[in-house]
Structure 1
Amino acid sequence: MATPIRPFHFPASVCRAALRRIESRSCSSSSSGFTAFTSRPTRSPTTLQPTLRGCTRGHVHVRSLHTTPSRRTTVGHNRERVPDEAPTTDFERMDMLGQTPAPATSIDVCMYDGFGLNSGVKILDGNGALLVNGEAFIWRPWRDGKKLLNHKGQWDVPAEAFGLFDLVWPRPDLLILGLGREIRPLSPDMRKVISSLGMRVEVLDTRNAASQFNMLATERGVNNVAAALIPIGWREGVGCV
Protein backbone atom coordinates (compact mmCIF):
# COMPACT_ATOMS: atom_id res chain seq x y z
CA MET A 1 0.00 0.00 0.00
CA ALA A 2 1.15 3.57 -0.72
CA THR A 3 2.50 5.51 2.18
CA PRO A 4 0.47 8.66 2.79
CA ILE A 5 2.32 11.99 2.39
CA ARG A 6 2.41 14.02 5.57
CA PRO A 7 2.64 17.80 5.44
CA PHE A 8 5.98 19.25 6.53
CA HIS A 9 6.02 22.33 8.74
CA PHE A 10 9.03 24.69 9.22
CA PRO A 11 9.59 25.84 12.72
CA ALA A 12 8.23 29.32 13.39
CA SER A 13 11.70 30.70 14.20
CA VAL A 14 13.03 29.64 10.80
CA CYS A 15 10.12 31.29 8.99
CA ARG A 16 10.59 34.56 10.84
CA ALA A 17 14.33 34.68 10.04
CA ALA A 18 13.70 34.03 6.33
CA LEU A 19 11.04 36.76 6.21
CA ARG A 20 13.43 39.31 7.77
CA ARG A 21 16.10 38.53 5.14
CA ILE A 22 13.63 39.02 2.29
CA GLU A 23 12.37 42.32 3.72
CA SER A 24 15.93 43.63 4.06
CA ARG A 25 16.59 42.96 0.35
CA SER A 26 13.34 44.41 -1.01
CA CYS A 27 12.92 47.99 -2.27
CA SER A 28 9.89 50.15 -2.06
CA SER A 29 7.69 50.47 -5.15
CA SER A 30 9.00 52.95 -7.78
CA SER A 31 7.01 55.63 -9.48
CA SER A 32 6.53 53.35 -12.49
CA GLY A 33 4.29 51.07 -10.47
CA PHE A 34 6.46 47.96 -9.96
CA THR A 35 8.68 46.64 -7.14
CA ALA A 36 12.33 45.88 -7.88
CA PHE A 37 14.51 43.55 -5.79
CA THR A 38 18.21 44.29 -5.81
CA SER A 39 21.20 43.82 -3.60
CA ARG A 40 22.10 47.54 -3.76
CA PRO A 41 19.95 50.60 -3.03
CA THR A 42 18.91 52.64 -6.10
CA ARG A 43 18.33 56.35 -6.63
CA SER A 44 14.94 57.77 -7.00
CA PRO A 45 14.19 58.33 -10.76
CA THR A 46 13.44 61.98 -10.11
CA THR A 47 17.08 62.69 -9.19
CA LEU A 48 18.65 61.27 -12.34
CA GLN A 49 20.31 63.68 -14.86
CA PRO A 50 20.46 62.88 -18.59
CA THR A 51 24.02 61.82 -19.37
CA LEU A 52 26.17 60.52 -22.20
CA ARG A 53 28.49 57.67 -21.31
CA GLY A 54 31.57 56.73 -23.32
CA CYS A 55 35.04 55.30 -22.99
CA THR A 56 38.32 57.17 -23.46
CA ARG A 57 41.53 55.15 -23.00
CA GLY A 58 39.79 52.69 -20.77
CA HIS A 59 38.26 55.30 -18.48
CA VAL A 60 34.56 55.97 -18.26
CA HIS A 61 33.52 59.59 -18.45
CA VAL A 62 30.10 61.19 -18.10
CA ARG A 63 29.03 64.35 -19.98
CA SER A 64 25.77 66.20 -19.53
CA LEU A 65 23.38 66.57 -22.44
CA HIS A 66 22.54 70.07 -23.72
CA THR A 67 19.05 70.50 -25.11
CA THR A 68 19.64 74.10 -26.33
CA PRO A 69 21.72 74.79 -29.49
CA SER A 70 25.20 76.11 -28.94
CA ARG A 71 26.26 79.41 -30.52
CA ARG A 72 29.59 77.90 -31.52
CA THR A 73 30.21 75.21 -34.10
CA THR A 74 32.45 72.34 -32.99
CA VAL A 75 35.15 71.37 -35.49
CA GLY A 76 37.28 68.33 -34.75
CA HIS A 77 38.45 67.49 -31.21
CA ASN A 78 38.29 70.34 -28.69
CA ARG A 79 38.26 72.95 -31.47
CA GLU A 80 35.54 75.55 -31.92
CA ARG A 81 34.94 78.35 -34.38
CA VAL A 82 32.39 81.13 -34.57
CA PRO A 83 30.05 80.77 -37.58
CA ASP A 84 30.92 83.04 -40.49
CA GLU A 85 29.04 86.30 -40.88
CA ALA A 86 26.37 86.62 -43.56
CA PRO A 87 28.02 87.11 -46.98
CA THR A 88 27.86 90.54 -48.57
CA THR A 89 27.70 91.44 -52.26
CA ASP A 90 30.28 93.76 -53.77
CA PHE A 91 28.49 95.18 -56.80
CA GLU A 92 31.55 97.08 -57.96
CA ARG A 93 33.45 93.80 -58.43
CA MET A 94 30.48 92.39 -60.36
CA ASP A 95 30.67 95.23 -62.91
CA MET A 96 32.65 93.49 -65.66
CA LEU A 97 32.92 96.71 -67.70
CA GLY A 98 34.02 98.83 -64.73
CA GLN A 99 37.73 98.43 -65.56
CA THR A 100 37.23 98.81 -69.33
CA PRO A 101 38.10 102.32 -70.57
CA ALA A 102 35.32 104.11 -72.41
CA PRO A 103 35.94 104.83 -76.12
CA ALA A 104 37.11 108.31 -77.06
CA THR A 105 33.92 108.76 -79.08
CA SER A 106 31.56 107.91 -76.22
CA ILE A 107 29.07 110.69 -75.44
CA ASP A 108 29.70 112.56 -72.20
CA VAL A 109 26.87 115.06 -72.57
CA CYS A 110 23.94 115.70 -74.89
CA MET A 111 23.51 119.46 -75.25
CA TYR A 112 20.69 121.46 -76.75
CA ASP A 113 22.63 122.17 -79.93
CA GLY A 114 25.31 119.48 -79.95
CA PHE A 115 27.39 116.93 -78.06
CA GLY A 116 30.40 116.65 -75.79
CA LEU A 117 32.61 113.58 -76.33
CA ASN A 118 34.78 111.67 -73.92
CA SER A 119 37.88 112.85 -75.80
CA GLY A 120 37.02 116.47 -75.02
CA VAL A 121 35.85 117.21 -78.55
CA LYS A 122 32.59 119.17 -78.85
CA ILE A 123 30.17 119.22 -81.76
CA LEU A 124 28.10 122.40 -81.58
CA ASP A 125 26.08 124.87 -83.69
CA GLY A 126 23.14 122.51 -84.15
CA ASN A 127 25.16 119.85 -85.99
CA GLY A 128 24.56 116.16 -85.63
CA ALA A 129 27.24 113.59 -84.80
CA LEU A 130 28.21 110.50 -86.78
CA LEU A 131 30.35 108.06 -84.75
CA VAL A 132 32.06 105.36 -86.83
CA ASN A 133 35.06 103.13 -86.07
CA GLY A 134 36.30 105.29 -83.21
CA GLU A 135 36.05 108.53 -85.25
CA ALA A 136 33.61 111.41 -84.83
CA PHE A 137 32.21 113.38 -87.78
CA ILE A 138 29.92 116.40 -88.06
CA TRP A 139 26.68 115.13 -89.58
CA ARG A 140 24.07 117.20 -91.46
CA PRO A 141 21.55 114.79 -92.95
CA TRP A 142 18.67 117.26 -93.42
CA ARG A 143 17.41 118.65 -96.71
CA ASP A 144 17.13 122.29 -97.64
CA GLY A 145 14.83 124.02 -95.22
CA LYS A 146 16.10 121.72 -92.45
CA LYS A 147 13.61 118.96 -93.02
CA LEU A 148 14.02 115.43 -91.64
CA LEU A 149 10.42 114.18 -92.02
CA ASN A 150 8.40 113.32 -95.11
CA HIS A 151 4.76 114.23 -95.65
CA LYS A 152 3.70 111.14 -93.65
CA GLY A 153 5.68 112.18 -90.60
CA GLN A 154 8.27 109.47 -91.18
CA TRP A 155 11.99 110.06 -90.69
CA ASP A 156 13.39 110.20 -94.22
CA VAL A 157 16.75 111.68 -95.29
CA PRO A 158 18.75 111.37 -98.53
CA ALA A 159 20.74 108.17 -99.00
CA GLU A 160 23.90 110.29 -99.27
CA ALA A 161 23.63 110.98 -95.53
CA PHE A 162 25.04 107.47 -94.99
CA GLY A 163 27.60 107.63 -97.81
CA LEU A 164 30.49 107.38 -95.32
CA PHE A 165 29.63 103.73 -94.70
CA ASP A 166 30.48 102.98 -98.35
CA LEU A 167 34.10 103.80 -97.44
CA VAL A 168 34.26 101.69 -94.28
CA TRP A 169 35.21 98.01 -94.26
CA PRO A 170 34.31 95.96 -92.40
CA ARG A 171 31.17 97.90 -91.60
CA PRO A 172 29.57 97.97 -88.16
CA ASP A 173 26.76 95.46 -87.82
CA LEU A 174 24.56 97.83 -85.77
CA LEU A 175 23.59 101.45 -86.36
CA ILE A 176 21.98 103.36 -83.49
CA LEU A 177 19.87 106.31 -84.61
CA GLY A 178 19.07 109.13 -82.19
CA LEU A 179 16.33 111.24 -83.77
CA GLY A 180 16.25 114.16 -81.34
CA ARG A 181 13.81 114.69 -78.52
CA GLU A 182 11.21 112.27 -79.93
CA ILE A 183 11.21 108.91 -81.72
CA ARG A 184 9.88 108.87 -85.28
CA PRO A 185 9.22 105.86 -87.52
CA LEU A 186 11.65 105.33 -90.40
CA SER A 187 10.31 105.47 -93.93
CA PRO A 188 10.48 102.23 -95.96
CA ASP A 189 13.07 103.81 -98.28
CA MET A 190 15.24 104.72 -95.31
CA ARG A 191 15.14 101.17 -93.99
CA LYS A 192 16.13 99.81 -97.40
CA VAL A 193 19.15 102.12 -97.56
CA ILE A 194 20.42 101.01 -94.15
CA SER A 195 19.68 97.35 -94.87
CA SER A 196 21.60 97.55 -98.17
CA LEU A 197 24.67 98.54 -96.15
CA GLY A 198 24.43 95.28 -94.20
CA MET A 199 23.57 96.94 -90.89
CA ARG A 200 20.78 96.48 -88.40
CA VAL A 201 19.21 99.66 -87.06
CA GLU A 202 17.90 100.63 -83.63
CA VAL A 203 15.82 103.82 -83.39
CA LEU A 204 15.72 105.77 -80.11
CA ASP A 205 15.49 109.32 -78.85
CA THR A 206 18.92 110.98 -78.72
CA ARG A 207 19.55 110.67 -74.98
CA ASN A 208 18.80 106.95 -74.88
CA ALA A 209 20.65 106.42 -78.15
CA ALA A 210 23.79 108.02 -76.70
CA SER A 211 23.56 105.87 -73.57
CA GLN A 212 23.04 102.72 -75.65
CA PHE A 213 26.00 103.56 -77.87
CA ASN A 214 28.28 104.15 -74.88
CA MET A 215 27.42 100.79 -73.37
CA LEU A 216 27.61 98.71 -76.56
CA ALA A 217 30.73 100.43 -77.88
CA THR A 218 32.48 99.70 -74.58
CA GLU A 219 31.26 96.11 -74.50
CA ARG A 220 31.58 95.13 -78.17
CA GLY A 221 34.03 97.70 -79.52
CA VAL A 222 33.64 100.78 -81.74
CA ASN A 223 34.18 98.71 -84.89
CA ASN A 224 30.93 96.83 -84.35
CA VAL A 225 28.60 99.65 -83.31
CA ALA A 226 28.01 103.03 -84.98
CA ALA A 227 25.77 105.93 -84.01
CA ALA A 228 24.08 108.78 -85.91
CA LEU A 229 22.66 111.42 -83.56
CA ILE A 230 20.53 114.57 -83.97
CA PRO A 231 20.76 117.25 -81.20
CA ILE A 232 17.97 117.18 -78.62
CA GLY A 233 17.07 120.81 -79.42
CA TRP A 234 16.20 120.04 -83.03
CA ARG A 235 12.91 121.46 -84.33
CA GLU A 236 11.57 120.39 -87.70
CA GLY A 237 12.00 123.13 -90.28
CA VAL A 238 13.88 125.36 -87.82
CA GLY A 239 16.87 123.40 -86.55
CA CYS A 240 18.55 124.28 -83.27
CA VAL A 241 18.15 128.01 -82.55
Structure 2
Amino acid sequence: MLRQPNPRLCRQFHATRTAAIASRRGPVGPPKTKDRGPESKEDTQTDFAAMNVLGNTPAPTTAIDACAHDGFALNSGLKIAGSGVMLVGGDAFNWKPWIREGRKEGTIGEGATGDDNKGVSSVGGTLRNTKGQWEVAEHSWGLLDAVWPKPDLLILGTGPSILPVSPETRKHISDLGIRLEVADTRNAASQFNLLATERGVQQVAAALIPIGWKEGTY
Protein backbone atom coordinates (compact mmCIF):
# COMPACT_ATOMS: atom_id res chain seq x y z
CA MET A 1 0.00 0.00 0.00
CA LEU A 2 1.40 3.38 -1.05
CA ARG A 3 1.76 6.00 1.63
CA GLN A 4 0.96 9.63 0.94
CA PRO A 5 3.80 12.09 1.71
CA ASN A 6 3.36 14.24 4.77
CA PRO A 7 2.94 17.87 3.59
CA ARG A 8 4.69 19.14 6.73
CA LEU A 9 7.82 17.15 5.84
CA CYS A 10 8.03 18.39 2.24
CA ARG A 11 10.39 21.25 1.50
CA GLN A 12 9.26 23.92 -0.91
CA PHE A 13 11.75 25.49 -3.35
CA HIS A 14 11.06 28.88 -4.89
CA ALA A 15 13.29 30.72 -7.38
CA THR A 16 11.21 33.87 -7.39
CA ARG A 17 13.35 35.77 -4.87
CA THR A 18 16.64 34.72 -6.53
CA ALA A 19 15.37 35.76 -9.96
CA ALA A 20 14.20 39.09 -8.59
CA ILE A 21 17.61 39.78 -7.04
CA ALA A 22 19.36 38.87 -10.31
CA SER A 23 17.07 41.16 -12.30
CA ARG A 24 17.85 44.09 -9.99
CA ARG A 25 21.60 43.52 -10.38
CA GLY A 26 21.38 43.51 -14.17
CA PRO A 27 23.15 41.20 -16.61
CA VAL A 28 26.53 39.79 -15.65
CA GLY A 29 29.24 41.49 -17.74
CA PRO A 30 32.95 40.99 -18.22
CA PRO A 31 35.28 41.78 -15.32
CA LYS A 32 36.21 45.44 -15.00
CA THR A 33 39.89 44.67 -14.54
CA LYS A 34 42.32 41.90 -15.41
CA ASP A 35 44.49 42.63 -12.40
CA ARG A 36 44.86 39.48 -10.35
CA GLY A 37 46.86 40.99 -7.57
CA PRO A 38 50.43 42.18 -7.03
CA GLU A 39 53.20 40.89 -9.29
CA SER A 40 54.78 37.71 -8.04
CA LYS A 41 58.38 37.92 -6.81
CA GLU A 42 59.03 34.19 -6.91
CA ASP A 43 62.15 33.06 -8.77
CA THR A 44 60.40 29.95 -10.08
CA GLN A 45 58.29 31.78 -12.68
CA THR A 46 58.50 30.55 -16.26
CA ASP A 47 60.28 32.91 -18.63
CA PHE A 48 58.60 32.11 -21.95
CA ALA A 49 61.00 34.38 -23.84
CA ALA A 50 63.89 32.19 -22.71
CA MET A 51 62.11 29.14 -24.16
CA ASN A 52 62.39 30.51 -27.71
CA VAL A 53 65.43 28.50 -28.79
CA LEU A 54 65.48 30.23 -32.19
CA GLY A 55 65.25 33.74 -30.77
CA ASN A 56 68.96 34.49 -31.23
CA THR A 57 69.37 32.47 -34.43
CA PRO A 58 69.96 34.74 -37.43
CA ALA A 59 67.67 34.26 -40.40
CA PRO A 60 69.35 32.88 -43.54
CA THR A 61 70.36 35.41 -46.19
CA THR A 62 67.83 33.84 -48.56
CA ALA A 63 64.92 34.39 -46.17
CA ILE A 64 62.04 36.25 -47.81
CA ASP A 65 61.62 39.74 -46.36
CA ALA A 66 58.76 40.76 -48.66
CA CYS A 67 56.60 39.34 -51.43
CA ALA A 68 56.09 41.97 -54.13
CA HIS A 69 53.55 41.92 -56.95
CA ASP A 70 56.17 40.82 -59.48
CA GLY A 71 59.03 39.55 -57.34
CA PHE A 72 60.66 39.26 -53.94
CA ALA A 73 62.97 41.03 -51.50
CA LEU A 74 65.44 38.81 -49.67
CA ASN A 75 67.10 39.20 -46.29
CA SER A 76 70.46 39.75 -48.01
CA GLY A 77 69.12 42.92 -49.66
CA LEU A 78 68.72 41.24 -53.06
CA LYS A 79 65.57 42.19 -54.97
CA ILE A 80 64.09 40.00 -57.68
CA ALA A 81 61.63 41.52 -60.16
CA GLY A 82 59.73 40.03 -63.08
CA SER A 83 60.53 36.50 -62.05
CA GLY A 84 59.86 33.77 -59.57
CA VAL A 85 62.64 32.56 -57.30
CA MET A 86 64.13 29.21 -56.39
CA LEU A 87 66.01 29.05 -53.08
CA VAL A 88 68.40 26.11 -52.88
CA GLY A 89 71.46 25.53 -50.71
CA GLY A 90 71.63 29.10 -49.47
CA ASP A 91 71.54 30.62 -52.98
CA ALA A 92 68.75 32.38 -54.87
CA PHE A 93 68.02 31.79 -58.56
CA ASN A 94 65.64 33.47 -61.00
CA TRP A 95 62.92 30.98 -61.87
CA LYS A 96 60.46 31.28 -64.76
CA PRO A 97 58.75 27.90 -65.09
CA TRP A 98 55.96 29.37 -67.23
CA ILE A 99 58.30 29.51 -70.24
CA ARG A 100 57.73 26.21 -72.03
CA GLU A 101 60.40 24.27 -73.85
CA GLY A 102 60.90 25.62 -77.36
CA ARG A 103 59.30 28.93 -76.39
CA LYS A 104 61.26 32.07 -75.56
CA GLU A 105 60.39 35.06 -73.47
CA GLY A 106 60.13 38.24 -75.51
CA THR A 107 58.55 39.16 -78.82
CA ILE A 108 56.39 37.18 -81.22
CA GLY A 109 59.42 36.60 -83.40
CA GLU A 110 61.03 34.78 -80.48
CA GLY A 111 57.95 32.67 -79.85
CA ALA A 112 56.32 34.76 -77.12
CA THR A 113 53.50 37.32 -77.16
CA GLY A 114 55.32 40.65 -77.08
CA ASP A 115 54.76 42.97 -80.01
CA ASP A 116 57.75 42.95 -82.40
CA ASN A 117 57.53 46.69 -82.97
CA LYS A 118 56.49 47.96 -79.55
CA GLY A 119 58.55 45.66 -77.41
CA VAL A 120 57.75 43.02 -74.81
CA SER A 121 54.26 43.15 -73.30
CA SER A 122 53.84 39.71 -71.78
CA VAL A 123 55.54 36.36 -71.48
CA GLY A 124 52.15 34.79 -72.12
CA GLY A 125 52.96 31.75 -70.04
CA THR A 126 50.76 29.31 -68.20
CA LEU A 127 51.14 27.23 -65.06
CA ARG A 128 47.91 25.23 -65.25
CA ASN A 129 47.09 22.18 -67.30
CA THR A 130 43.74 21.48 -68.93
CA LYS A 131 42.40 20.15 -65.60
CA GLY A 132 43.25 23.34 -63.73
CA GLN A 133 46.14 21.70 -61.88
CA TRP A 134 49.48 23.42 -61.30
CA GLU A 135 51.94 21.81 -63.68
CA VAL A 136 55.27 22.78 -65.20
CA ALA A 137 57.65 21.02 -67.56
CA GLU A 138 60.33 18.75 -66.12
CA HIS A 139 63.13 21.02 -67.34
CA SER A 140 61.87 23.65 -64.87
CA TRP A 141 63.34 21.49 -62.10
CA GLY A 142 66.78 21.24 -63.73
CA LEU A 143 68.45 22.92 -60.76
CA LEU A 144 67.09 20.29 -58.38
CA ASP A 145 68.24 17.58 -60.79
CA ALA A 146 71.81 18.91 -60.67
CA VAL A 147 72.27 19.95 -57.04
CA TRP A 148 73.90 17.58 -54.52
CA PRO A 149 73.17 16.87 -51.76
CA LYS A 150 69.52 17.36 -52.51
CA PRO A 151 67.24 19.12 -50.02
CA ASP A 152 64.90 17.00 -47.96
CA LEU A 153 61.92 19.32 -48.44
CA LEU A 154 60.73 21.62 -51.23
CA ILE A 155 58.18 24.29 -50.35
CA LEU A 156 56.23 25.33 -53.44
CA GLY A 157 54.42 28.68 -53.56
CA THR A 158 51.85 28.55 -56.36
CA GLY A 159 51.11 32.29 -56.53
CA PRO A 160 48.31 34.38 -54.99
CA SER A 161 46.30 31.27 -54.08
CA ILE A 162 47.00 27.63 -53.47
CA LEU A 163 46.45 25.25 -56.39
CA PRO A 164 46.42 21.46 -56.63
CA VAL A 165 49.66 20.14 -58.10
CA SER A 166 49.39 17.66 -60.95
CA PRO A 167 50.37 14.03 -60.31
CA GLU A 168 53.10 14.29 -62.97
CA THR A 169 54.81 17.19 -61.20
CA ARG A 170 54.49 15.50 -57.81
CA LYS A 171 55.95 12.28 -59.20
CA HIS A 172 58.94 14.06 -60.75
CA ILE A 173 59.83 15.77 -57.47
CA SER A 174 59.26 12.56 -55.53
CA ASP A 175 61.55 10.67 -57.92
CA LEU A 176 64.29 13.14 -56.97
CA GLY A 177 63.92 12.00 -53.35
CA ILE A 178 62.43 15.34 -52.24
CA ARG A 179 59.27 15.82 -50.20
CA LEU A 180 56.83 18.49 -51.39
CA GLU A 181 54.77 21.01 -49.42
CA VAL A 182 52.36 23.28 -51.31
CA ALA A 183 50.89 26.63 -50.24
CA ASP A 184 50.08 30.05 -51.64
CA THR A 185 53.24 32.11 -52.05
CA ARG A 186 52.84 34.28 -48.93
CA ASN A 187 52.39 31.28 -46.64
CA ALA A 188 55.08 29.32 -48.47
CA ALA A 189 57.56 32.17 -47.90
CA SER A 190 56.74 32.27 -44.18
CA GLN A 191 57.08 28.51 -43.91
CA PHE A 192 60.44 28.58 -45.69
CA ASN A 193 61.75 31.33 -43.39
CA LEU A 194 60.82 29.31 -40.31
CA LEU A 195 62.03 25.90 -41.45
CA ALA A 196 65.22 27.18 -43.10
CA THR A 197 66.12 28.93 -39.85
CA GLU A 198 65.32 25.84 -37.80
CA ARG A 199 66.72 23.09 -40.04
CA GLY A 200 69.15 24.92 -42.31
CA VAL A 201 69.13 25.92 -45.97
CA GLN A 202 70.73 22.63 -47.02
CA GLN A 203 67.66 20.72 -45.87
CA VAL A 204 64.88 23.07 -47.00
CA ALA A 205 64.40 24.58 -50.46
CA ALA A 206 61.67 26.78 -51.92
CA ALA A 207 60.23 27.52 -55.35
CA LEU A 208 58.00 30.59 -55.36
CA ILE A 209 55.77 32.21 -57.99
CA PRO A 210 55.11 35.99 -57.62
CA ILE A 211 51.85 36.88 -55.90
CA GLY A 212 50.82 38.99 -58.91
CA TRP A 213 50.87 36.04 -61.29
CA LYS A 214 47.98 35.75 -63.76
CA GLU A 215 47.66 33.08 -66.38
CA GLY A 216 48.88 34.28 -69.76
CA THR A 217 49.19 37.94 -68.76
CA TYR A 218 52.13 38.13 -66.36
State the alpha-carbon separation in 2 of the partners of residues 111 and 120 from structure 1.
14
114 and 84 in structure 1: CA distance in 2 versus 1, 3 angstrom threshold: closer
Quick check: 1:152 aligned with 2:109?
Answer: no
After TM superposition, give the deviation of residue 146 of structure 1 in Å.
1.0
Alignment match of 1:133 (pick from 89, 112, 116): 89
CA distance in 1, matches of 2:43, 2:89: 46
In structure 1, list runs of 5 or more residues that go unmatched.
1-82
Which among 186, 202, 206 is matched to residue 223 of structure 1? 202
Runs of 4+ residues over 6 Å off in structure 1: none
Partners of 2:99 and 2:65 in 1: how far apart? 28
Q: Which residue of structure 2 lines up, in the alignment, with residue 109 of structure 1?
A: 66
How far apart are residue 86 of structure 1 and its match?
Answer: 7.8
Match of 2:34 in 1: none
Matched residue SS, 2:85:
strand
- C-alpha distance in 2, partners of 1:191/1:151? 17
Instruction: Show the counterpart of 1:238.
Output: 217
Bigger Cα Rg: 1
How far has the Cα of 1:236 moved from its partner? 1.1
Equivalent in the alignment of 1:124: 81
Unaligned runs of 5+ in 2: 1-39, 101-123
Q: 2:60 & 2:95 partners in 1: Cα distance?
A: 19
Q: In 1, Cα distance between the equivalents of 2:64 and 2:41?
A: 45
The residue number in structure 2 matching 1:59 is none
* 1-structure distance, mates of 2:132, 2:213: 15
Q: CA deviation at 1:133?
A: 0.1
The alignment's TM-score, normalised by the length of structure 2, stands at 0.69
Post-superposition shift, 1:166?
A: 1.8
Separation (CA, whole Å) in 1 of partners of 2:214 and 2:146: 31
Listed one character per residue, the Cα deviations across residues 215-240 of structure 1 (whole Å, up to 9, x for unaligned) are 0001100000000000111111111x
Equivalent position of 2:11 in the other structure: none
How many residues align structurally?
Answer: 156
Q: Distance in 2 between matches of 1:166 and 1:112?
A: 29
Higher RCO structure, 1 or 2 (CA under 8 Å, sep 6+)? 2
**Quick one: which amino acid aligns to residue 84 of structure 2?**
G
TM-score (norm 1): 0.62
Task: From the two aligned structures, give the one with the greater strand fraction.
Answer: 1
